[in-house]
A and B are shown apart, each in its own frame.
Chain A
């Protein structure tokens, strides 16, 4: 049998891929539910402000990419933190990664379950999506990174379908009033936290930093990716405000899918089914990317970094992921609740990782630099 290698690097990847990956990681699942968490029209400003904060965070993050450490991968981290400490960090990093895989898969499957296969057991759907993701990730990290182009091409234009909602007879300006917050509550803070967690995701680029071309200004691409996400969030939120009105929006489940249901074409009646299925490319990309990162992390924790990747190890990883999703789905999942415990866990964990990872790396570089002097 040919050797099974997942993390081989045969060629550099372009900064352009960084842009696509950042954008896809940010948009992800939250685009489907974002409007119903923001609800108030003044959150349009919120999206812009949090987008700027995320940009500031990306500036910090890009410092890591321009430092000498980024290209070396594992050995650079060991240099920065020391082996034991680094393994400890990775062990901690595995938790939000697994949480992200679980929450995203289950939430997406729930949407499919609600709109396309209401009578189907959810576990079948989980299995179907995971099998595809396992297949993609078994092709190796490099191919998975390249897969982002397909994921992007299959999903980014969906947002353009909602442009008609910006015009009469759907739209009236009064649905966007008031633009400035007139009252502030705990929920508004929660919405901002939700927004911040929707902008999270770029921190996972550290898992693939050795693949990027050396000496390239990756910052530019990160900025573009972030900008595209801001625009996509704005389009989806404003169009759903115009479509539902703020009051009705707060009572709607999956507003974006409901809007897709309203679209009509002379050929197919259920456009939402097609769009929701196309969204699967996006999911498969993110989940297979996370699976590979998870497997890589496990290898670091068990001190197997320098050995060849094995089929058994990879399959074991997949099995762990599938079982944990199945367990959560079977015993701990409450479907359809807006303030779902798992979703809030995911919101908190991704907000924290997005905030801490760039800062931590930058601090480590600064400290290292000082001790070398």
Chain B
């Protein structure tokens, strides 16, 4: 039995005796390693171990939360969390019922144990490819892996031990000429499987060539275009433009937003289905139980264009009289769980890529991910690469574009959905200081009419 396991068993007794409407604890042990390159040489390499935990208490609708590294004096920390909750709570506690569970979810994956020499060898190969490309100025590579064990227990008697592992790789090629600087990136990830980042030599080569290509690419004129998004960028779009809006913690106490997000409301065409679910297996956002001990589900957010569901914690589900969906997640023991996405995607339909392009006279094909952010109503996301579409065919490369729009009109403007669903595992999501949380998102190719593109 490891240290946190024995501590957890003692803590279970303390939780049962405490004076709160509800109380839970999470204890965590983790190991991780990282390697980064800036330029030709390895820049930093490091190893990390961490252990810690937290106690969260609910009293009359107010939450107390205490996090710590030292596992000493846990009864004192429980007492502090309860006292804080008493101070914060002035109303009534609401928590959707979840049956207590005792379970162990283990993994064999341990990327941290793979020798650093082997990891470095692979990254050296990729870096060599980037540096062989003429006119390339520099490269940036960030590799990270981790493995952790989390024990969750609560006052209802749940005791869940879960292990998970994670691998991420981000490569960037930077090309310069005079005062011009251009870059193209590539992000990959997996639930701890190191093989997922091996053998991508050809993609790395293409990335480096594209960075150089951008130096001579013209900048697009700003304005409205018909835009086709590749699966990677469409995945970012669905995450940013709609996913965050589906997180019930934005909505549950906000009457005006609840009106906007009434179930049954039409958001897009009959072809549009959007799903989020940690129960979709094998992806970076997958798990069996969330950080409140609620079993994972697969949730339709939009079905045939209509809003049919949203993402919940136990509290938001109770307040909205809906079912918990198992979307309460915390990035680590230093934070309380909040409503988050897991694996978010647009379901594929029948159109081929060629069909989608065929009737566009002038448009933009936006590819690859650079970033995305949302204010609920408005979203902005950036392509890593972009091409003009002329007379139904891909034409010249242009500078990467930033796309923006109003969520509510843009979803209606999706008028073609492809048949080629692909999930991107290289992303991380940030919300309320908790970043980057492992998620995946994906889509087939989609076409959006009247999309606002920034430019000169």
The finding on whether chains A and B are genuine partners in a shared complex, rather than unrelated, reads no
A contacts, CB < 8 Å to B = none
